[in-house]
Amino acid sequence: MARSLNLEEGSFLDQFGKQSLLQARVNFYPRCSRPDLVLGVKPHTDRSGITTLLQDKEVEGLQVLIDDKWVNVPTIPDALVVNLGDQMQVSSPPYTAALKTCLRHTSILLHRTLSPELTNCVSFRAFDNLDTS
């Protein structure tokens, strides 16, 4: 990832370190006859460095906010969705100093999950966090 951003190879290794934390979350969204009345997961940003999401193959429920409009993230069978979280944003200039002093920062990607109308849905997320030791 560093090379694709024209950064020094391994530049993120110092920030994620040997003690980085990997967390996993599995969500079950039951079928809902009125999905317009309920959200699966409210709008939020991911506090992690990187979030890897395996979406349900049949349900498009993930949305991102682009130009004040909610846009569906297409479901691609057997593909992973990778979000860069808040920690990745603040570990890049001009926020690097803010990371060291724990200042507040702007969120990178606001997203939410809708409840499915016709079928149950399961999603799996893995979060990789910065080394805080």
pLDDT in tens, 75-119: 888 888 887 777 776 655 554 444 444 333 333 455 556 655 555
| Count of alpha carbons within 13 angstroms of residue 105, beta-carbon side | 25
The domain spans of the chain are: 33-129
Condensed to tens digits (0 to 9), the pLDDT of residues 4-37 reads 767 777 777 766 666 666 777 777 777 777 767 7
81, 73 Cβ separation under 8 angstroms: yes
Cis amide bond preceding 77, omega within 30:
no
Can you name the residues that pair with 54 across neighbouring β-strands?
Answer: 80, 124
Residue 97's pLDDT is 44
CA 114 to chain centre: 15
pLDDT at 67 over 70: yes
